[in-house]
Structure 1
């Protein structure tokens, strides 16, 4: 059987999927990740995961097993993507400061022309951040390719006062849900099948 294709360029997703002991190859999907006018956060991440899986399936056919994911940071109903520049990142951190936001990941596993989807939401609370703290953080390399402009698994984890839900979801791939989805499709992991 061909290995699973991970439709993502994210090193964090690679690392998390590798922890499950899955045999996989990486093939990033180049799609337009713009939010449609009036599109809510949950439908947006679900659409992104589906479109990534379908873009890779288009190159491999229906028999390939493809896992795609999309993660967004959401506050006040707004999807915060990756920061475009310093001031964009500063604005994101200012919005997250002292507040609770959601991190939503949508998963799409496509195999034999069939798609299975799930979405996972984690609530993350930040301590209050001063402008100086934000500037010091933005002087590092860490925030620039991260949704919401922070990395919970790195220095940005110091901003987090509490997490309600899946920690690995905030990193970029909810492990429990990924394992269950793979098992449902007969894709082997180090853990075997649940139950």
Structure 2
């Protein structure tokens, strides 16, 4: 039975997989996202950034497994041509919402799937999904309450779709699971590329 591994600490990604019938083994990659992004050079495309980070996260934990399929993901919000990851502080999140409110951005999620057999990587598939997110204009009181909750500080783009931030998303165009952090339709296609079916995945979770 192939082990399904999620190379992410994200509870949102774990929740999406569990709701979709998968109980993955969770391994946190510990990848230095800022250092890796800087190493990509002066002008990598937004897609290249998130896919490279997803690949690095999956690769970082592959040595722990002999027979597994490993999924790595990375999400960022692209607005005004600038990629926004996790704000980490209230001040940064507040500035980002000043830019986002009443506007639209592209939530980009890079996905990488590694197939490990006998401790060796035998197949890799990776791609990026993009979803347009249309943001509301929260009142100052509502925004300050949201920032004080701590939720937007450790998520890409300083918002969530499946939590408190969902109140401030007017609509999306694309895959909602990708906005949450792991796009099920894209992961299914990538799994097929490395020779893993949904029957295999569901069986691994039982």
Question: What TM-score do you get using the length of structure 2 for normalisation?
Answer: 0.84
Offset, 1:32: 1.1
Whole-angstrom distance in 1 between the partners of 2:80 and 2:5? 34
Aligned partner of 1:85 in structure 2 is: 89
Aligned pairs, number? 190
SS in 2 for 1:128: coil
Aligned in 2, Cα 1:59/1:123: closer, same or farther, shift over 3 Å?
same
Unaligned runs of 5+ in 2: none
SS in 1 for 2:68: coil
Whole-angstrom distance in 2 between the partners of 1:23 and 1:162? 29
Offset, 1:20: 2.6
SS in 2 for 1:123: strand
Summarize the alignment of residues 39-58 of structure 1 with structure 2, pairs less than 5 Å apart.
39-58=44-63
Summarize the alignment of residues 8-157 of structure 1 with structure 2, pairs less than 5 Å apart.
8-34=8-34, 35-36=37-38, 37-60=42-65, 63-112=67-116, 113=121, 114-157=123-166
Whole-angstrom distance in 2 between the partners of 1:180 and 1:39? 25
Question: What TM-score do you get using the length of structure 1 for normalisation?
Answer: 0.89
Structure 1, residues 147-179: CA drift from partner, whole Å, max 9, x if none? 111111112111111210011111111111222
SS in 2 for 1:49: helix
Decide which structure has greater helix share: 2
RMSD (Å) for aligned C-alpha atoms: 1.9
